[in-house]
Chain A
Amino acid sequence: MNWNDWIPLLVLMSSLLPGLLIFSLAEENVQTRVMLNLFGALAKLALVGLMLWGVYHGHHYETRLPLLPNLDLVLRVGPLSLLFITLSTILWLVTTVYAIGYLEDSPHRSRFFGFFSLCVTATVGVALAGNLISFLLFYELLTLATYPLIIHRGTEEARQAGKIYLRYTISGGALLLIGTVWLYSLTGSLEFTPKGFLFNIGEQHYPALIGIFALLITGLGVKAALVPLHGWLPLAMIAPAPVSALLHAVAVVKAGAFGIIRVVYDVFGVEFSAGLGVLKPLAWLAAFTIIYGSLRALFQNDLKRRLAYSTISQVSYIALGVAIAGPIATIGGVVHLVHQGLMKITLFFCAGNLAETLGIHKISEMNGVGRRMPWTMAAFTIGAFGMIGAPPIAGFISKWYLGLGALNNDQNWVIFVLAGSSLLNAAYFLPILHRAWFMPLPESWPDEHHFGNKETAWALLLPPLVTAAMALAAGLLVTLPFSPLEWAKLISVREFYQP
């Protein structure tokens, strides 16, 4: 094994080892815990930077370790996995800073940050997985690592939400396992391959393949919160804000969406999937989820629940982009993996700030909050407009490529879905902004904390500002070589459409 073969493993270890060390730290050992967290996040960032440069210049990174007879644990770096890893690494760093500020005086911080690191390790593993069995391992690890984070507060409500989360995700994992085993028994391979590895299979197996596809997508659809498998997500909002931010932007829902991309492109192959006729139902399901999520969001008064339903809607853009099955829609779907992450994490950070600083949890309590916390609400405004698809914020780019991809593939109905979704997004985000900026200030806030002459603590304020700026830059500077869009174009060309 040469140096390049170790790098994927090192990327995993950069969060796993600090996480394991943090578990052993005493609660009052704040400085060491902070150092370990930041060291792990920065080390991972450096390694990812190195891989970005390498992959852009055609280098190949792969770690292969024996797992089962004829089945290895494969960690492989390609443009798609790198896009996801870069997103999770950058947002992990930002979320760590946020979580340090958010949980400043909370109990069980070592436990929290330990599982937090494990959660990121599992997410990176999902991204790096080079075959379906490796993917499955990390996918399940992610379930187990996020459960303690969801029930972190220890309340009855949190435990209940955790139980439901486990029920959903373990059932989804079981379906994924059945699909994987069935596929292996049929083909003898689980290796992710550009354009898939099923094109040589005989026509007599097509019904079985449709069944396998349904099992895999249903298993993944639980975490991707495709309707009707989304029930756990609004309940999981009971978790602390950094966890919600990570769940919605990077870890759980994204793992599901990323899995759908992998299955369609690297297991079945996009052309083969289209031939099987499985992409159209996936597109319809994604479209239904987009509209359903937005409609449900419209009627939520709890801010985090509204954001949760918004996630259900927005993550399905990724599945829709994949299901439209063309190079341009692929760009739209893949780039939304990053864009949705940037925008949604901003919104959750802001929701956390409002809760921590003023005790605001409900939208009806947000009157005039823009005047009390202008920077937080400015970041929220950017995130919200991005979700609506207003230019030049990142969401506009995603919708642009999805719409264009739909036109190119003669699926004009998608345009109506996008327009309807934009309309609904505006309907549930703009009233929040209206309240925050234009309604009179209340006499008092539900539970106000003062931070000197600042609107809130720096550790809470800086992360949403950074991610909002990134969401803006991702939309404005799209032609730069390392922008998410350029990377998505590279993925579209290298992984899916190169001869």
Chain B
Amino acid sequence: MSSAMNIEFYTMTLWIAVIWPLVLSIPSLHSRLPWPRHLALLPAAVLTVIPIDVSIEIPWLLYGTGFAIDGNIRWILGAVVVIWFAAATISLPAKEKASSNYSTTFYLLSLAGSLGVLLTTELVAFFSFSTLMGYSFYALLIQNGNSARQRAGRLYLYVLIVADIALFEALLLVAFTTEHFQYEMVRQTMADISSSSVYFYMVLIGFFLKAAIWPFYFWLTAAFKSGSRTIALLLIAGPVTMSLLGLLRWLPVRDDIYRLGLIMQLLGAAAILHSALKIFTSGIFKQGLTRFNTTWLIVAFTGLLSFALGTTMQNPTLSQHYSYIVYPTISAFSLSLSLLILTTVKIHSEPESVENRPVLIINTFHKLKKWLHSTQQLASGLKLKTLALWDKSGSFVIKQYQHICSEQKIKFFVTDWKTNITLFLILGLAITWLAI
């Protein structure tokens, strides 16, 4: 393929990555496909390995919009794809159930919203996709849930409505000031006007609520407490990560907002202290990591980010020096917490428990092997050597994995929290180091 064709392909992938899950969300379509939740991630997965920065302009929404991917976004996209893939795998629905069709619809709408938020280049589209993600996530949160989950859903819904109204007001202020909605333009423009403080507070309220940053963490604890493992994973990959991203993209940059920076620092510090207190008084050393502790880890991290943002607002030179680290850090945070949830956190209210998860994993290996075998048959039928070779190497890898992850070993692996928290820290550090 020529270079121009390559770029054409990349641009198309960018656009399809968002549209594809939306199309697949139609129940009569995804109910006819195998593994629709995984299929929906394919274009996004391809995007993560595209070697160049690409963008596309689309004449939609109020002032036209666009999608783009660069080095920073690729970090978060990678984490998002991995987490959504993991969530899709552990939540494989029974195909014949109508209720799982609806669950898949909301799952895919939420995914489309997240990818849209991530890849879009301007505020109005960000807001639109964020709304789509939020309401679809609400549906996921409460579907087939008990009263605790319904309550968590209600809390999340209230938060969502208030946050969206605040962000809408912020958008109006932007529109009142400028007709350019690209992130950088807005951050610069809103820094120079007198109504910047109102804008700042609206953005702060909107995203603090959506990202569950202290003191608005109450909905997160309720959702985490009542939701399934899938919900816990998607909470991180969806509302929390995307709202942190929103905070980074919407907040204005200026050097005379010492007071506002201080507010963020104070809130961040309070979040960290409060979380630390909660984690250490919750019997972590006796009980290991529970979903309660994990929630507070999230609150601590979002607080840390708030503190860091507040610091850079007081001293913009810091922002210039360390801005490159922010995206990989968020990415590392999301991945690490997801790993923690997948391997350690005790979840009781979902069908698959810690005890039977190793069996599930091994079943997945069997399924994968069966699938590879069928592709090999197809490949030999079509006389495609590459596919056959791929199957052989795939089978070899699976064999090795099966050997390593014998049932006993997995059981040990998933229940030993010390091992996993070490892994969590190592992974976080490794990703941050790689980014730097």
Measured CB to CB, the residues of A under 8 A from B are 370-371, 374, 385, 389-392, 396-397, 399-400, 403-404, 407-408, 415, 419, 422-423, 426, 430, 434, 437-438, 476-480
Contact = CB atoms under 8 A, between A and B. Distances in A.
Given A389-B168, A404-B172, A438-B143, A423 B102 contact: no
Given A391-B124, A392-B128, A403-B172, A422 B165 contact: yes
A478 B161 contact: no
A423 B60 contact: no
A266 to B, nearest CB: 28
29 contacts: A390-B131, A390-B135, A391-B61, A391-B124, A391-B127, A391-B128, A392-B60, A396-B128, A399-B168, A400-B62, A400-B172, A403-B169, A407-B176, A415-B169, A415-B172, A419-B165, A422-B165, A422-B168, A434-B142, A438-B143, A476-B61, A477-B60, A478-B60, A478-B61, A479-B59, A479-B60, A479-B62, A479-B63, A479-B64
Contact of A371 (B98, B124, B142, B173): B98
Chain B interface size range: 20 to 34
B13 to A, nearest CB: 21
A470 to B, nearest CB: 16
A438 B142 contact: yes
A391 B139 contact: no
Interface of B: 27, 59-64, 98-99, 102, 124, 127-128, 131, 135, 139, 142-143, 157, 161, 164-165, 168-169, 171-173, 175-176
A477 B175 CA distance: 19
Given A408-B176, A423-B165, A391 B143 contact: no
A480 B60 CA distance: 8
A297 to B, nearest CB: 16
A407 B170 CA distance: 12
Nearest to B27: A374
B169 A419 contact: yes
Contacts of A430: 157
Contacts of B59: 479-480
Contacts of A390: 131, 135, 164
B102 A371 contact: yes
Contacts of B171: 400
B172 A391 contact: no
Contacts of B164: 390
B61 A392 contact: yes
Contacts of B128: 391-392, 396
A370 B172 CA distance: 34
B189 to A, nearest CB: 15
Contacts of A476: 60-61
A412 to B, nearest CB: 10
B161 to A, nearest CB: 5
Given A390-B131, A403-B172, A415-B172, A478 B62 contact: yes
Contacts of A391: 61, 124, 127-128, 131
Contacts of A399: 168
A48 B173 CA distance: 38
A400 B169 contact: no
A419 to B, nearest CB: 5
Interface pairs A-B: 4 shortest CB-CB: A391-B128, A407-B176, A403-B172, A392-B128
A392 B171 CA distance: 14
Contacts of B165: 419, 422-423
A240 B161 CA distance: 34
Contacts of A423: 161, 165
Contacts of A480: 59
A312 B214 CA distance: 40
B175 A404 contact: yes
Contacts of B173: 407
B124 A407 contact: no
A319 to B, nearest CB: 20
Nearest to B128: A391
Given A477-B60, A478-B61, A479-B61, 14 more contacts: A390-B164, A391-B61, A391-B128, A399-B168, A400-B172, A404-B172, A407-B173, A407-B176, A423-B165, A434-B142, A438-B143, A476-B60, A479-B60, A479-B64
B131 A400 contact: no
B161 A426 contact: yes
Contacts of B143: 438
Nearest to A426: B161
Contacts of A408: 176
Given A391-B124, A476-B60, A479-B59, A438 B139 contact: yes
B98 A407 contact: no
B399 to A, nearest CB: 44
Contacts of A407: 172-173, 176
Q: Most chain-A CB neighbours within 10 Å: which of B27, B63, B175? A: B175
Contacts of A389: 168
Contacts of B157: 430
A389 B171 CA distance: 13
Contacts of A426: 161
B167 to A, nearest CB: 10
A392 B169 CA distance: 16
A391 B120 CA distance: 15
B172 A437 contact: no
A397 B169 contact: no
A361 B174 CA distance: 43
B139 A404 contact: no
B175 A437 contact: no
A378 to B, nearest CB: 9
Given A390-B131, A391-B127, A438-B142, A397 B176 contact: no
Contacts of B161: 422-423, 426
A294 to B, nearest CB: 14
Nearest to A370: B102
A471 to B, nearest CB: 15
Contacts of B60: 392, 476-479
A208 to B, nearest CB: 38
A479 B62 CA distance: 7
Contact of A437 (B62, B63, B64, B139): B139
Nearest to A400: B62
